[in-house]
Amino acid sequence: MISIAEIFYSIQGESTFSGLPCVFVRCSGCNLSCSYCDTRYAREPSSGKLQTIDEIMDRVTSFPVKMVEITGGEPLLQPEINQLIDRLHSAGKEVLLETNGSLDISGIDRRVQVILDVKTPGSGMAALNYEQNYQQLGSNHQLKFVLCSEDDFCWSRDFVRDRLPESAEIIFSPVVERLSATRLAELILQEHLPVRLQLQLHRILWPEVDRGK
């Protein structure tokens, strides 16, 4: 059984797959509490409903789309998440998994496209980044930094330069209420950083919708 907050069909908005139609499987329960979290309704395990993998698959396959993203909450807290991933692959789905970066990613199927958060100081959770994850990055991993301030930018710039391989796929995404996208773009250009500027596309498309988009 997996605790599910919601399953919905939308536009992928926070990775290199941004803009593509996608089914989202949002798990309930998270071990972090980021200052900018926009899915607090999924933070507590009790906020979701326990569903069997068959029930989840029935809902996912009701949408005529290949891409499926498992997110949260924190999906790696779910003991049966690898069984769900296997079922999705067997059904011909392309699987993305977004994880908060505090847990070991070594057990995730290498066919999965992993969106790995690197928590910045502004999140309040930077001390909980799982350092060993950065030693096992491959072509199926991309790293997402959510930035709250120029101080977060400087911290992230140094992290990218000092600790990540040049081949890493890196995304910088601003908390626009705290750091404007324009200012972040200027900083990226000023520092000549090989990173992708990312805005939350779904938030632009549906600014009044709190969940299910």
Query: The pTM is what?
Result: 0.94
User: What integer pLDDT is reported at residue 46 of this predicted model?
Assistant: 84
Please, what is the average pLDDT of the chain? 95
- Amino acid at site 200: Q
Instruction: Inform me whether the pLDDT recorded for 20 exceeds 90.
Output: yes
The domain spans of the chain are 2-205
User: Structurally, what CATH architecture does the domain formed by 2-205 represent?
Assistant: Alpha-Beta Barrel (3.20)
Q: For residues 135 and 176, what is the distance between their CA atoms, to the nearest angstrom?
A: 31
- Assign 75 to helix, strand or coil: helix
Q: pLDDT by residue (tens digit) across 106-150?
A: 999 999 999 999 999 999 999 999 999 999 999 999 999 999 999
- Whole-angstrom CA distances from 74 to 30, 37, 95, 173, 175 are 5, 12, 16, 19, 20
User: What integer pLDDT is reported at residue 209 of this predicted model?
Assistant: 74
Mean pLDDT of 178-187: 97
